[in-house]
Amino acid sequence: MNIPEIHVWDHGIIQVKISMAYPLRWVNSYVLPSSAGISIIDPGPRNRTTEEEWTKVLKHLDFGFHDVNEIFVTHHHPDHFGLAGWFQSQADCHVYMSQRAFDESQYMWGTHSNINNQLMKWLGQHGLPEALSVQIEQHLFGFLPQVTPIPDITTVADGSFLTMGSLSWLAIESGGHAPGHLSLFQQELGLMMCGDAVLPRISPNISLIPGSDPDPLFTFMNSLHHLNTYKVNQAFPGHRDVFINYHERLDELLNHHEERLERIEKLLHPSPQTGYEICESLFGNRLSIHQMRFAMCEVLAHLQELVRRGHARIILSSLDYRIKYTYEE
Ligand SMILES: [Zn+2]
Ligand SMILES: [Zn+2]
């Protein structure tokens, strides 16, 4: 295995591309060195490959695990949060994240979590055929090793400042993609550590999940408007490449969701539709179970936003007890 790709940016910011599954292929971790040691933002998912990658990266950069002072986690998804506990066990470092993001990690993977079973039943009610919905449960169990062990965390609140890599960073709550998601803004230089709140080329997944944020698309679009109020010269995303057209990208993402809302609203006109039927109309029926889960939860997030705006209404089909959406005059 080769050493992961590393880019050193101005102000000593080191981008490390940690491997992950197709289609994303890599998650960007950022190493911020100072005379006191290093801080790592979003270490990546845990598996044998990524553990080896980090061992090689630290050696290449001339650091040891004892140099890691803190891990900052933007959000609870396995591809960002996963290795935090492993790093803590190696380096005895702080793990910073928001309380809301940590609560969500426990909701998804804590010892009392029942979300796999819940999500399977819930997607079934939204029309996902049983042959597919039963696969969801197993598919979700597959994430557990990526997020083990769960770290002890130090909570970071929206609006607080952290010093990492000799720079001061403002934590900004930027939810919607994930509850309690935090981005980091360096005001003097106009740098934004986006996490997955703003990505170039790909639209961050927005999922409606039972028991989680009840209006994720609304939260997300509000976050994008809020993130647009910071003057950003260079953006460091959780996936894909570092980019400069940050404000343009925020507009594109907002437009993308408005267009998608319009398209879904039109699909409700001929007759009431389940989330699954909308999903089939938009993406066909050849998605993998992983893609299907994301696609369906994203469609349901859009349908929920249409309901919130008063453009759609939920009805329960008396024939098969499936949840359907109908347009509102
Ligand atoms: Zn994410
Ligand atoms: Zn991600």
Closest residue by Cα to residue 209 from 76, 329, 96, 49: 76
Task: Report H helices in 200-274.
Answer: 216-227, 246-267
Rounded distance, CA 9 to CA 162, Å?
20
Q: What is d(CA 297, CA 77) in angstroms, rounded to the nearest whole number?
A: 15
Buried b (16+ CB within 10 A) or exposed e, 42-67: bbbbbbeebeebbeebbeebeeeeeb
Which ligand lies nearest the alpha carbon of 105? 1
- From the CA of 180, the nearest ligand is 1
**Is there a common fold for 6-110+149-257 and 116-142+267-327?**
no
What's the pLDDT at 89?
96
Per-residue pLDDT, 292: 92
At the topology level, CATH places domain 116-142+267-327 in Arc Repressor Mutant, subunit A (1.10.10)
Cα-to-centroid distance, 40 and ligand 1 (Å): 17
- For helices 289-308 and 216-227, give the axis angle rounded to 10 degrees: 80
Per-residue pLDDT at 143 exceeds 90 = no
Kindly give the distance from the C-alpha atom of residue 45 to the centroid of ligand 2, in angstroms, as a whole number: 9
DSSP of 37-64, one letter per residue? EEEEE-----SHHHHHHHHHHHHHTT--
Least confident of 10-19, 51-60, 66-75, 289-298: 289-298
**More reliable by pLDDT, 129 or 317:** 129
CA–centroid distance, 80 to ligand 2, in Å, is 6
Q: What is the pLDDT of residue 290?
A: 85
The residues facing 326 across adjacent strands are 313
- Please report which ligand is nearest the Cα atom of 220: 1
Beta bridge partners of residue 18, listed in sequence order = 27
Residues 193/41, Cβ–Cβ less than 8 Å: yes
Whole-angstrom distance, CA of residue 84 vs CA of residue 146: 10
Q: What gap in Å lies between CA 72 and CA 182, rounded to an integer?
A: 10
Q: Residue 178 CA: which ligand is closest? A: 1
Ligand 2 centroid from CA 22, angstroms: 12
72 Cα to the center of ligand 2, angstroms: 14
Please give the distance, rounded to the nearest whole angstrom, from the Cα atom of residue 270 to the centre of ligand 1.
35
- Tell me the ligand closest to 21's alpha carbon: 2
Taking 80 as the threshold, does the pLDDT of residue 275 lie above it?
yes
Per CATH, the homologous superfamily of domain 6-110+149-257 is Ribonuclease Z/Hydroxyacylglutathione hydrolase-like (3.60.15.10)
- Tokens of residue 7, six digits: 């880019």
Task: Give the Cα separation of 49 and 139 in Å (integer).
Answer: 20
The closest ligand to the CA of 181 turns out to be 1
Residue 20 C-alpha to ligand 1 middle, in angstroms?
Answer: 12
pLDDT of residue 95 exceeding 80, the answer is: yes
pLDDT at residue 135 is higher than 80: yes
Ligand nearest to the CA of 24: 2
Distance 196 CA to ligand 2 centre (A): 6
Q: Dump pLDDT digits (tens) for 240-270.
A: 999 999 999 999 999 999 999 999 999 999 9
User: Is the model's pLDDT at 140 over the cut of 80?
Assistant: no
Checking if the pLDDT of 111 tops 90, the result is no
Q: Where are the domains of the chain?
A: 6-110+149-257, 116-142+267-327
Tens of pLDDT, residue by residue over 182-229, are: 999 999 999 999 999 999 999 999 999 999 999 999 999 999 999 999
Those residues whose beta carbon sits under 5 angstroms from the ion ligand 1 are: 77, 196
Q: How far are the Cα atoms of 17, 193, 207, 306, 323 from residue 128, in angstroms, in the given order?
A: 35, 36, 15, 20, 11
| CA 273 / ligand 2 centre spacing (Å) | 30
By percentage, how much of the chain surpasses pLDDT 90?
A: 86
